[in-house]
Structures are given as C-alpha cells and as structure tokens.
A and B are shown apart, each in its own frame.
Chain A
Amino acid sequence: MSIKSLSRKLLLVSNNIAILLVAIVVILVFYSQNPNFLHDDNIRNIMRSMAFVGILTIGMGMLLIGGEVDLSSGAVAGLSGVLVAMLINTGIPWGWAIVITIAFGASLGLISALLVNVLGFMHFIATLGLMSVYQGVILVITRNVFIPVPNEGFRLIGGTSFGNIVPLPFIIMLVLMIAYTLVLSNTGFGRSVYMCGGNRKSARLVGIKPKKISYFLYINNGALGALAGVIITSQMATASPVAGQTGSIDAITAAVLGGVAFKGGSGGMFGCFIGILLINSFSAGLTFVGFPQYWQIVARGSLLVLALCLDYVISGARSRALEHALRSHN
C-alpha cells in the first residue's frame, strides 16, 4: 500500500518539477536573448496576461480531472465580458453587475451540464455547438464593435497592482488556485472528482454520484469563465467581441502541460499554475525577441501537441510504475 502511494506521489511530483524546469529554461533563454525580459514592466505584463487564462484553466483543469471537457468556456468568458460592460453602461452598480454576470456564467455552465448528462451528448460536440451559439450571440449584441466601459470603480479591478508589479487579477487567480487545491486534496468531494475522472464506473460502485459531480464541474467552470471575462474587460476597460476566442484551447494546453491527465483522474492546481506560467512567458518571449507574428500561431499549436505527447509519455510511465509497484507488493 505504502509503496504504491509513494511511487505515485513521486511520479506526480517529478512531473511538476520537470515542467517547472522547462518553464525556468524558457524564461532564461529569453532573458539571455534580451535582459529586459525580466524587467519589472515585462514581469507585470506577463502576470497581467496570466490572470485571464489562469482563471479559465482552473475551471478547465477541474473538468479534465473529472474526465470532462468544455470547449465553450472561452466563448462564455467573451460573452460575460460583453454582458458586464453592457450592464455597467446601463447604470447598474459595478458590484452588482459582476454578481449578475457570474450567475449568468454559472447558468451557461448548467446548460452544458444538462446537454451532457440528460441528453447524453458527447461533451466535446455539445460544447462545440454551444461555443458557436455563444460566439454568434456575441456578434449579434456587439455588432462586432468594441464596447468601452468608462466606469472608474470597475477599472480598478484590472488596473490596480501592488508594489507596481503584482496586478490584483493575478492575486485573485492565486487565491482561487490555493482554494481549489485545498478542495481537491483535502475534501471528500475533491477526492471523488479524481475518482470520477479515473474510473467512472467504480466511482459509482463506491457510492459517488458522477452526474452530480459533473453538474458541479460545469457550473463551476461557467462561473469561473464569467469571472475571467469580467477581469479581461476590466483590464482593457473595454469589452472586446474577440476576447475569448482562443480561451478554451489555451486553457486545455495549460492544464495538460501542467500535468493534468487529458483522460482524467490526475493532476492539480500547482501544475496548472506552472502550465500557465510556461505558456504566457513563452508567448510573451516570442513577441519580445521579435519572433514573426504569424509563426507564433504555429508555435502555440505545436505547444499543445507537445503537451499531449508529454501527457502520453508520463501517463504511460505512471501506469507502468503502478503495475510494477502492484506486482512487487504482491
């Protein structure tokens, strides 16, 4: 028993460390190309851009661990970012506008959950359909133009930074990650999320209700998507109709890079954090050293393939190690 859990823990930890090393190497390479890469301004910019993808990644990471996926979360973020701007511009106090928007995001998550659990659609195709609907709605209500938000209080959320380096949204993301880490590792609920992702059938047999957990994960993801949308609108003081377009893919890439198994059952928030750090410093670095703009799209797609290959190698090694441990235990 102890051998098993020990070897599994070792694999999990070493996985995170490997990715952390990659992130550090990436940062050092860009630093050696241009020392300004680690200048205060650039660090702040990287942190700033981490918050949006980071909050999306929390929700996506939880879904992936539980064996689900939601391709609409980027569009949910985009739509919520537009909604919060419109609400504030009609004169509703910004605090209330945020509450309404997050509730709205949660209800969009509920729609995904209903399609997957009641109608039994495959998760990716159901959420792909929803993504198209939401992106259409964004175009309809914005008529494809930016919506400025001239509200001072609202702009403070995205605009404040502590010590002139650490932006408030980054702190929000960190706090959320710590909270979700605690939920995942220290509560029965967290453990049942892992069980559902690892083996749905046996989870049901030991008395966990996978459907209930699936509902929670989708609603949670919708609410977090809405929060991400609120934050990006506040950071730009403008709602953009294209803000969330690559959100879902970026979040999946970050989570899988950070060691969340794509087929569910393992991973954690610390890994997600490193995944986001890696992605954002990578793309900031590419821009920084003047890598051609169009090649950057290729590079980001390749990063996802790389992440999945890594996932393949690691989960293969993990299951071999588990088998080995089991055999030697017997």
Chain B
Amino acid sequence: MNIKKIAHSKIFTLLILLAIVIATFTILSNGAFLQPRNIRNIFQATVVVSLLTIGAGMLMISGQIDLSLGGIGTMCAMMAAFLMRSGLPWHLSMLAALVLGAICGAFNAVLVNEFNFQSFIATLATASIAQGFMAVISQGRQIDISDRTFNFIGGARFWDDLIPFSLIISLVLLVLYGIMLKNTKFGRSIYLVGGNADASRLAGLRPKRISYLLFMNAGALAALAGMLLAGRMMTSNTVGITNAQFQGLTAAILGGIAFGGGSGGMGGAMIGILILSTFNNGMTMINVPMHWQSVASGLVLLSALTADFLSSRKRTSA
C-alpha cells in the first residue's frame, strides 16, 4: 500500500527521470560526466535557477506569473556593480540592489493588483523597462567588480574546491522556503489564494497583500541571483541572468508546480532544477552546439507542460 503510494508520487517519477538523464549522459560521455568537477559544475549551475524558481514558483502557486525576473536580476546586479565602482562598500551596494529588486517587484504588484493587468503582460512590460534601465546604467558595457567580499560570496568554493559558497546559500534558502510553504500559516494561505482567490478572501485572507509580498520577494531573490552570478564572474555583463528565468519557469513546472496555482512545492522544484541543470550540462559535455541548447530548452518547457497536462488529466479522471 505504502510502496504503491510512493511509486505513484510525482517526486518518485521525477527521480526516475533524473536517473535516466544521468545514465544517458554518463554512457554518451564515456563516464566523464560523473567526474567530481563536473558534478560540481552541475550544482554550481543550479544556484541562479534555484533562486529564480523559489520566487517564480511561489507566485505560480498563488496563481500569478512573473516574466520580469531575468530583467530585474540583471539590472540589480548591474546597479550593485555600478555602486561599488562609484566607491560604495559592498554591503551597502548589495542592500541597495536587493531593495531595488523588491521595488521592481512592488511595481509589478501595483500593475497587477491596482490596474488589473494580467500578470504575464505586466511583468513583460516591467522586463523591458528594467532592460532599458540596465542599458542606461551600464551604457551597454560590462562593469568589472574588484570587491573581494562581493566576489567571495558569489564565487568562493570550499572543500577541495568542490562546494561553492553560493550553492550553500541557495540550498539553505530552498529548504527555508520549503518549510515556510508547508508548515506555516502564511505558506498555506498562498496555496489557498492560488486555488481560489475569492474564496480565500471570504475566509479572511488578504490576497492582495500576499500578492504584493510574493512579487517583492521574487524581485529581491532575482537581485540576489544576479549578484551571485556577477560575483562569480567578477563582472556584471548585459546578458546576466536573462536566460535563467526561462529555466526557472521550466523547473517549477517540471517539479509539479501547477499553473493557475494551488499545488506543488519546493521539493519537486528542487529535483526539477537538478534535472534541467544535468540536462544542460550533459548537452555541453557531448558537444551539442550552443545554439541548439536554446531550441532544446524551449522543447523541454513544452514537454514539461505536456507532462503536467497528462498527469492532471489522470488526476481528474481518477
């Protein structure tokens, strides 16, 4: 009975999928795939995506979507780099960038809650504005970062160079947010709002306040993601984390966070992120050209959606 339940759970399916991906690439790359350095690279690549997935995933659970996280994160990282170049210490620069991210999130929330925009178009507009500001701040060039501490936070590695510091940050945050979602009143209210906003209001929740908090939270996390990447590269460039936002969405959907909200959690999202990162790394290992990877990431998103569609059909018919 219990084993049957485990075998039917979403997480179990995802783990099998992960095992298949790992096995395939290990065979295709003649074992090079499982070298410790490469495993570290796979985990390193999850950092940015994890932070974006936490923010985007919680918004999706509450029934919203945010397509501006890549733009916001890139702009905030650029802002931090700009401030440090102008002589501000690293902690103030990081704080300013985090606040800026939260403000951008609040801007999204205003558009969605006060002006009734659909969240995808509101955040798409914010993304293009953020991209513009990023270009204004940077004048279209990358800004190098020489601050030791900032670069340490993004790029340091411990234990024989195998454990990135930023990975620890992202894992801690994933666990904290996961516990918050499952075990606190606030976490459960997010599910309620996503399941039925009207009913949740009647039950005494404040969907608007939750929406503001989630958008601001996602913006601040995006800023952190952008800065961690910038610290690792020791420079803030104009592409930044723009492409990672797409992976964040895909990981959330792959991990079982349903669109239109109401279900899913951080555990599934975590495995979703790992599957994506393994897949991307594997493609590089077996020398799939860069350009094909953009095609593949779109196809993975569409297949994740299809899987979601199939499983939800099974759930409703059962």
Contact = CB atoms under 8 A, between A and B. Distances in A.
A is bound by B: yes
Interface of A: 69, 115, 119-122, 124-126, 128-137, 139-140, 143-144, 249, 252, 262-263, 292, 294-302, 304-305, 308-309, 312
B103 interface: no
Given A133-B299, A143-B291, A312-B115, A304 B128 contact: yes
Contacts of B124: 249, 304
Contact of A312 (B116, B129, B292, B293): B116
Contact of A129 (B129, B131, B302): B302
Contacts of B302: 115, 126, 129-130, 133
Contact of B117 (A132, A292, A308): A308
B248 to A, nearest CB: 13
B298 A136 contact: yes
Interface in B276-294: 289, 291-294
Contact of B135 (A137, A143, A297): A297
B305 A136 contact: no
Contacts of A302: 129
B116 A119 contact: no
Contact of B298 (A122, A129, A299, A309): A129
Interface in B292-315: 292-299, 301-302, 305-306, 309
11 contacts: A120-B309, A121-B309, A129-B301, A129-B305, A140-B295, A294-B136, A297-B128, A300-B128, A301-B128, A304-B125, A309-B115
B139 A294 contact: yes
Given A115-B305, A129-B298, A130-B298, 5 more contacts: A125-B120, A129-B301, A136-B294, A298-B129, A301-B125
A294 B118 CA distance: 27
A262 B118 contact: yes
B111 A305 contact: yes
Contacts of B111: 305, 308
Contact of B297 (A69, A119, A132, A296): A132
A132 B246 contact: yes
Contacts of B133: 298
B70 to A, nearest CB: 12
A263 B116 CA distance: 10
Nearest to A75: B298
Contacts of B294: 132-133, 135-136, 139
A136 B301 contact: no
Nearest to B299: A133
Given A139-B291, A312-B117, A301 B129 contact: yes
Nearest to B291: A139
A167 to B, nearest CB: 28
A252 B128 contact: no
A131 B297 CA distance: 11
Interface string B102-145: 00000000010001111011101111111111011001100000
B112 to A, nearest CB: 11
Contacts of A121: 305, 309
A294 B141 CA distance: 12
A30 to B, nearest CB: 20
Nearest to A241: B291
Contacts of B82: none
Interface residues of B, number: 43
A122 B132 contact: no
Contacts of A143: 291
Contacts of B299: 129, 133
A294 B302 CA distance: 34
A130 B129 CA distance: 23
Contacts of A129: 298-299, 301-302, 305
Contacts of B309: 119-121
A136 B121 contact: no
B305 A125 contact: yes
Contacts of B117: 262, 308, 312
6 smallest CB-CB distances across A and B, nearest first, come from: A136-B294, A297-B132, A298-B132, A132-B298, A136-B295, A301-B128
A116 to B, nearest CB: 11
B215 interface: no
Residue picked from A133, A299, A302, A312, most chain B C-beta under 10 Å:
A133
Interface in B189-228: none
A308 B120 CA distance: 12
A252 B246 CA distance: 21
Nearest to B300: A129
B259 interface: yes
Contacts of A125: 65, 120, 249, 259, 301, 305
Given A121-B309, A129-B302, A262-B121, A136 B291 contact: yes
A73 B128 CA distance: 17
Contacts of B306: 119
Given A249-B128, A304-B125, A136 B140 contact: no
Nearest to A133: B298
Contacts of A301: 125-132
Nearest to A121: B305
Nearest to B139: A294
A297 to B, nearest CB: 3
A139 B130 CA distance: 25
Contact of B259 (A122, A139, A252, A300): A122
A126 B129 CA distance: 24
Contacts of A297: 128, 131-132, 135
Interface in B50-99: 65, 67
A252 B121 contact: yes
A136 B293 contact: yes
A300 B294 CA distance: 26
Nearest to A302: B129
Contacts of B131: 297, 301
